Structure 1
Amino acid sequence: MKNKHNVIDELKPKRTVKELCVYLGISRSGYYAYLKRKDNDPDAELKLKIRAIYEQRDKTVGYRRIQDELYRQYSHVVNHKKVLRLMQQLGIKAIIRRKYVHRTSYEAAVSDGRIAENKLKRDFTAAKPNQKWVTDVTQYRV
């Protein structure tokens, strides 16, 4: 259902405001108070600060860090839920960076193809000499 004040806005050219208010059961002063606050955004300044911090930090901060930055830069105490709600209204969210994966030298060697495939599968017995040759090269750095 639409807000009664919006209905009055739509029907204002056809009827008087007084008639519409009586019909909808709201006070005329209430309607004019609505008109005053309709275009007034109480969080406009805070939204500008949030967007500035978001751009300043290369879009990688979420609502918790923005809340901390609001306090650090502007000494402005804001609830984290309000910061989250305003960020959702602005349509911004943190870009999540991929975590750095530290690869060990063994993982790097496997991915580079420096480690050969295990064809023996720990079967070191041979039917005759010179069939299977194995060695340990772990002492050599490549």
Structure 2
Amino acid sequence: MGCSKTLRFNIIHQLKHKYPVQLLCKIAQVSRSGYYKWLKRQTCRRDHEIKQILSLEYHRLKGIYGYRRMRILLKRKYGIHVNHKRVYRLMKLLQAGCHSEKKTLHALFIVR
């Protein structure tokens, strides 16, 4: 086969729902472990894209959204379905947490 490994891995990924991965890897002359390693790298690339969006939105919103609201924003605005734990982990890596004001105790008694 004269095509690159990335192209072969993409083809395997598209056909894996119809045929076993082991057979597809044998036909494409790539190792099964190599395919799964490539697949894991794809997830890391997705994390990188999500981190860029989170950083952009975090600064645009001046840090008032926490991971729960950011997850909802990703789903509604960008169509990205992602687990809240992943958003929490990525925001933690970016050191982007929700900044809420501390509640102060106001005067409890009115002096007459």
TM-score norm. by structure 2 comes to: 0.53
One-letter code aligned to 1:96: S
RMSD (CA atoms) = 2.9
Per-residue deviation at 1:64? Answer: 0.0
Instruction: Name the % identity.
Output: 34
Instruction: Kindly report structure 1 stretches of 4+ aligned residues shifted beyond 6 Å.
Output: 100-104
Distance 2:66 2:100 in 1: 9
- Measure the CA separation in 2 of the matches of 1:100 and 1:69: 30
User: How many aligned residue pairs are there?
Assistant: 74
Partner of 1:84: 88
TM alignment of 1:74-113, pairs within 5 A: 74-99=78-103, 107=110, 110=111
**C-alpha deviation, 1:52, in angstroms:** 1.4
* Higher Cα radius of gyration: 1
Normalising to structure 1: TM-score of the pair? 0.43
Question: Which sections of structure 2, spanning at least 5 residues, go unmatched?
Answer: 1-33
| Distance in 1 of aligned mates of 2:92 and 2:51 | 11
Aligned residue identity for 1:48: Q
Q: 1:54 aligns with which of 48, 51, 58?
A: 58
Structure 1 counterpart of 2:90, one-letter code: L
